[in-house]
């Protein structure tokens, strides 16, 4: 299977197939396996989360006290997401057949936690109106979508796990 075919066949059933194709197409030449593709998806998610974190840092001292509080909480949530995604990427880069199930469970948990953090960030803006809310919502929603696609590709990778090796 050609790398571009792997991206297309993997993204077709993702939660956000258009975003999946758009964000992972540039990785197609380096993605030779479902594992490579899952790692690429986590890299995209991590990159986007870092960009949002940088953006939020610029908003910390602007707006009303309520906005500042929501931004501060959101920064904490996104920082946690970045940490979860960093751990996920490291785990995917060091998968071993003997601990595959445990490692995959970790990655699925961490990426799910990153998605929850995105939702929690948005919850803080429910009572806020204006441009800041709209900008944050747009950016966090994009991060959540690429992260959701990463989770899909990790779950897909998990289904390809090697047979367990039994040791006497």
**Which burial class, exposed, middle or buried, applies to 165 when counting CB atoms under 10 A from its CB (0-12, 13-18, 19+)?**
exposed
| All structural domains of the chain with their residue ranges | 3-158
pLDDT at 30 over 80: no
3-state SS of 11-75 is HCCCCCHHHHHHHHHHHCCCCCCHHHHHHHHHHHHHHHHHHHHHHHHHHCCCCCHHHHHHHHHHH
Q: Tokens 């367990």 map to which residue?
A: 164
| Level-2 CATH architecture, domain 3-158 | Up-down Bundle (1.20)
Mean pLDDT along residues 111-132: 93
Does 31 or 7 have the greater pLDDT score? 7
Confidence of residue 38 (pLDDT cuts 50, 70, 90): very high
The rounded distance, in Å, linking the Cα atoms of 4 and 26 is 9
Report the pLDDT value the prediction gives residue 167, as an integer from 0 to 100: 39
Q: Tell me the pTM.
A: 0.91
């Amino acid at each position: 299977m050609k790398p571009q075919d792997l991206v297309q066949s993997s993204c077709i059933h993702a939660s956000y197939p258009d975003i999946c194709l758009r964000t992972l197409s540039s990785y197609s030449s380096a993605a030779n396996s479902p594992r490579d593709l899952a790692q690429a998806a986590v890299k995209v998610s991590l990159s986007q989360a870092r960009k949002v974190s940088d953006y939020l840092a610029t908003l910390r001292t602007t707006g009303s006290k309520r906005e500042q509080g929501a931004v501060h909480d959101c920064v904490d949530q996104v920082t946690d997401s970045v940490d979860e995604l960093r751990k996920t990427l490291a785990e995917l880069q060091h998968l071993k057949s003997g601990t595959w199930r445990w490692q995959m469970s970790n990655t699925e948990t961490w990426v799910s936690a990153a998605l929850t953090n995105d939702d929690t960030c948005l919850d803080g803006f429910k009572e806020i109106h204006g441009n800041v809310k709209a900008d944050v919502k747009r950016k966090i929603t994009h991060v959540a979508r690429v992260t959701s696609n990463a989770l899909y590709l990790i779950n897909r990778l998990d289904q390809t796990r090697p047979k367990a090796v039994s040791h006497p």
